[in-house]
Amino acid sequence: MKSSNKHILLTGGTGLIGRNLTKQLISKGYEVSHLSRSPGHDPGVNTFLWDVEKGTIDARCIDGVDIIVHLAGAGIADKRWTDKRKKELIDSRTKSIGLIYQLIAKNPNKVNSVISASAIGYYSDRGDELLTEESTPNNDFMAKCCVEWEAAVDEGSKFNLRIVKFRTGVVLDNGGALAQLAVPVKLFVGSPIGNGKQWVPWIHWQDVIDMYLHAIENTDFTGVYNMVSPNPVTNKQLTQAVAKQLHKPLWAPNVPAFVLKLLMGEMSTVVLGSTKVSAQKIEDAGFKFKYPDIAPALKEIYE
């Protein structure tokens, strides 16, 4: 379906999801701009500069824009969670959208929608409980970060914007979480983490892109949705599926939880936490997954 030349502004457009989404939007005839800390290298994309820490933003970035897709945010697992890092993780998500809303408030524009990432960290570690969009948030740092992030995005309702928030699971692609999991497997020392029973709310990167496109193209689509595959797996099942795909045996014992806590500190909840998340709401909204099951998802990524 060709677009009616709508103009999309992306924050976090140079990340893995941002790059793939940009490509697909351009191929569908959309005009795409990026808000970035550094000048862009893509001749097909207008890049406007901002510095969230300093509170500076190029006011022209919203000219002619219909929809803003907010993907910006410092990497959750990139560094240890010191107090300074925690502040960065929250500010990079909340202050960034706040800057955009300040512009919208002061300048004439035609922005009608904001589609934002959030994360399943909103629910955090909940054992075997099946979590829906109605479930309450947890009260640890990850949850606090997501609650503040979503609240900052919701400020856009003052401007009568259509707001969509996607609580994103563990995105499987050639890099990121999957690459980290696969390294020990490739070296024949792969093994589940902790007791291996914790639920991993995964999603294939193509389904992530398609979900953003679904939200961009369906103007009556609004609210909060879990961005996860309909078939979650445990950490043990995921590790076994990766080993099978890579034709490697799994014989190492589980990695003890205390080792990870020593190495990662509070951030270890990202890998030790169990979050079983429902995709029912997005399926009910008419979204069709290309990769609902883990084996075909991994096959596509590794081949």
Would you place residue 233 in the very low, low, confident or very high pLDDT band (cuts 50, 70, 90)? very high
User: pLDDT tens, 97-106?
Assistant: 999 999 999 9
How far is residue 242's CA from residue 238's CA, in Å, rounded to a whole number? 6
Q: How many C-beta neighbours within 10 Å does residue 123 have?
A: 26
Is residue 252 exposed (0-12), middle (13-18) or buried (19+ Cβ within 10 Å)? Answer: middle
User: pLDDT tens, 120-174?
Assistant: 999 998 999 999 999 999 999 999 999 999 999 999 999 999 999 999 998 988 7
Report the predicted TM-score, pTM, of the whole model to 2 decimal places. 0.91
**Which domains, and CATH codes, for the chain?**
7-302 (3.40.50.720)
DSSP class per residue in 195-216? TS-SEE-EEEHHHHHHHHHHHH
Position 177 scores a pLDDT of 65
Between residues 73 and 292, which one has the greater pLDDT?
Answer: 292
> Residue 13 pLDDT > 60, yes or no?
yes
How far is residue 135's CA from residue 59's CA, in Å, rounded to a whole number? 38
